[in-house]
Chains A and B, each alone.
Chain A
Amino acid sequence: MKSKLKLLLNSVAVFAALLAMWQGIIWAFAVPSYMLPSPWVVAKTFAMRLPDLWASTMISAEAAVGGLLASIVVGVLIALVFARSRWIRTMFYPYTILLQTVPIVAIAPLILMWVGQGILSVGVVAFIICLAPIIANTTQGLVSVDENLVQLFLMHNASQGQILRKLRLPHSLPYLFVGVRISSGIAVIGAITGELFAGSGQVGRGGIGYSILYAQTQVQTDYLFALVIAATVLGFTLFFAVMFFEWLALHHWHESAAESRADG
């Protein structure tokens, strides 16, 4: 307990040092505010424009969460198909890697063209960027079941449906959560990237990505900083929400979840 408090204090000290350095640079080199606003100005802007920030963050959150949820549903379905046959798996697996390696900024304009302006295409960008980790991890979980357990089920004349429901799916749940955790971080990146291209459906009502573009053209550097903070907070929140659901689902039986409970 004591050491944990110490660790926390250390983190706070690092944060304070960074702020001091930031302010120090501004004073030492007389950096103009439109290049680098001081921490104090950023904090003030953040507080004053909280309603705008909140509105933008909620729009981005909607797209990120929507894309993430869709990627879980579709990703699990694809993983189920992959797990059914090695043949299909080897045939299509390279394309899921392709999904992961193709630069999302390069295909975002295409998606915008096909899906149209607005939150739907932003969600689609988030969905695409989230899909690969879900497919890869869930497939891994579905096929890594102990062969003896499959034989045990067969001994008792279990149907393929029973093996799936009572064995493969619960076994793959921890793997699925690993995938969702990875995807939760990049879902926000996907949403903001999407908004840079497609978030300007209604002027003044765009998400974080759109607001970044807007603040840039207006040279509102302090507001840009505030948006970066908002995006980071959104990413963290999503990540910890996933961690919470993971704990809820697994802490009874799974070692990793049980350990993190013992730590916290």
Chain B
Amino acid sequence: MTTVPEVLFKGVSKRFAANAAPVLDGIDMSIERGEFVSIVGPSGCGKSTLLKLVAGLSACTSGEIAVNGMQPKNAREMVSFVFQDATLLPWRTVERNVALALELEGRTRDETAAAVAKLLELVGLAEVGKSYPRQLSGGMKMRVSIARALATRPRVLLMDEPFAALDEMTRDRMNEELLRLRGEQNWTVLFVTHSVAEAVFLSSRVVVLAPHPGRVAHEVVVDLPYPRTGETRESEAFDALVNKTSKLLREAYRG
């Protein structure tokens, strides 16, 4: 019996209007369960669009996407999305923000409360559960956003430049923390970023997209062992992979 890929792209193309230039063209890619795949590419290469397609928030113009063998729209329950901005509801406390998805899915109050407490513990925010988002720093807001995404116990996590707005120190720490969480829960991640270093640090595989139209230009397998720590960033192997990926990205950009 062959295993079903977690996310499968088959000749995926996307145009926003019938006569517009395609944003994505002929994407073929297979992501296995437990992989951490980053997508890097210049602005306008359709990275975010790709995630929206997987989330079933937008439909392919041609080709198809299968999430665990299902159409994206029907697979939403096993997928969570983390946006570039924390996109918290400012009128809800941290706790109630994390509870949002569970609430929408109609879980009981007790069940939700227990899950939320555990999640806040997991992302290190147990003390600020009663605070409002405006009282939190950018990094803390993003932790809340991640906790909210994890609340529905997703198998697949889609992350659209989640740490782009953070300063570098905070971003590095969040990267390490994300890997720690993944070590515990083992989701499959599709991660969009502008930063090659971030992509290499996090991923088991980096996909380089070329623009106009967005298409897969290269793939780089990152064979650095997990768990990765701050020291991983200082290793020569890491540097070599970052340099290699940066070079491929430049080439893709030139076309």
* Cross-chain contact A148 with B83 (CB below 8 angstroms): yes
Number of B residues near A (Cβ < 8 Å) is 25
Chain A's closest residue to B81 (CB) is: A155
Q: What is the bound-complex CA distance between A149 and B78, given in angstroms?
A: 19
- A154-B57, A253-B92 known; 14 new pairs, CB 8 Å cut-off, are A152-B87, A152-B100, A153-B104, A155-B55, A155-B81, A156-B152, A158-B104, A166-B104, A170-B89, A173-B91, A253-B90, A253-B91, A254-B90, A254-B91
Q: Roughly how many angstroms separate A186 CA and B134 CA in the complex, as a whole number?
A: 33
Q: Give A255 to B135 CA distance when docked, in angstroms.
A: 10
Q: Assess whether A155 is in contact with B132, with CB atoms less than 8 Å apart.
A: no
Bound-state CA distance A171–B134 (Å) is 15
CB contacts under 8 Å to B, within A147-179, are 148-149, 151-158, 162, 166-167, 170-171, 173
> Could you jot down 7 A-B contacts, CB within 8 Å?
A148-B87, A149-B89, A151-B52, A156-B101, A157-B76, A253-B134, A255-B134
Residues of A within 8 A of B83 (CB): 148, 152
A146 adjacent to chain B (CB < 8 Å): yes
Per the CB 8 Å criterion, the residue count for chain A at the interface is 22
- A151 contacts B134, CB within 8 Å? no
Q: Tell me if A258 counts as interface (CB < 8 A to partner B).
A: yes
Interface of A is mostly: helix
Distance, CA A60 to CA B99, complexed state (A): 47
Taken together as a complex, chains A and B put the C-alpha atoms of A151 and B52 apart, in Å, by 9
CB of A86 within 8 A of chain B? Answer: no
Are B90's CB and A155's CB within 8 A? no
CB within 8 A of B105: which of A157, A166, A171, A173?
A157
In the complex, whether A4 has a CB less than 8 A from a CB of chain B is no
Q: Which residue of A lies closest to B102 (CB)?
A: A156
**Chain B interface residues (CB < 8 Å from chain A):** 52, 55-57, 76-77, 79-81, 83, 85, 87, 89-92, 100-101, 103-105, 132-134, 152
Q: Does any Cβ of B come within 8 Å of A252's Cβ?
A: yes
In residues 205-235 of chain A, which contact B (Cβ within 8 Å)? none
Q: Does B79 contact A253, Cβ atoms closer than 8 Å? A: no
In the docked arrangement, what's the CA distance between A253 and B101, Å? Answer: 20
Which among A155, A170, A254 has the greatest number of chain B C-beta atoms within 10 A? A155
Q: Which of A162, A167, A252 contacts B89 (CB 8 A)?
A: A167
Give the chain B neighbours of A155 by CB distance below 8 A.
55-57, 76, 79-81
Which residues of chain B have C-beta atoms less than 8 A from A167's C-beta? 89
Given contacts A148-B85, A155-B80, A156-B101, contact A253 B132 (CB under 8 A): yes
Closest 4 CB pairs of A and B: A156-B104, A253-B91, A156-B101, A253-B132
- Enumerate A167-210 residues with CB–CB distance to B below 8 Å: 167, 170-171, 173
> What is the bound-complex CA distance between A153 and B152, given in angstroms?
13
For chain A, residues 102 to 156, give those with C-beta under 8 angstroms from any C-beta of chain B. 146, 148-149, 151-156
Among the listed B79, B85, B104, which residue makes an inter-chain contact with A162, where contact means beta carbons less than 8 Å apart? B104
| Minimum CB–CB distance for B132 against chain A, Å | 5
In the complex formed, the residue of A with least CB distance to B145 is: A152
- Give every chain B residue within 8 A of A173 (Cβ-Cβ): 91
Instruction: Give the nearest-CB partner of A249 in chain B.
Output: B91
Question: In the complex, which residues of chain B have a beta carbon less than 8 angstroms from the beta carbon of A153?
Answer: 104
Cα distance, A173 to B133, chains bound together (Å): 17
CB neighbours (8 Å) of B91 from chain A are: 170-171, 173, 252-254
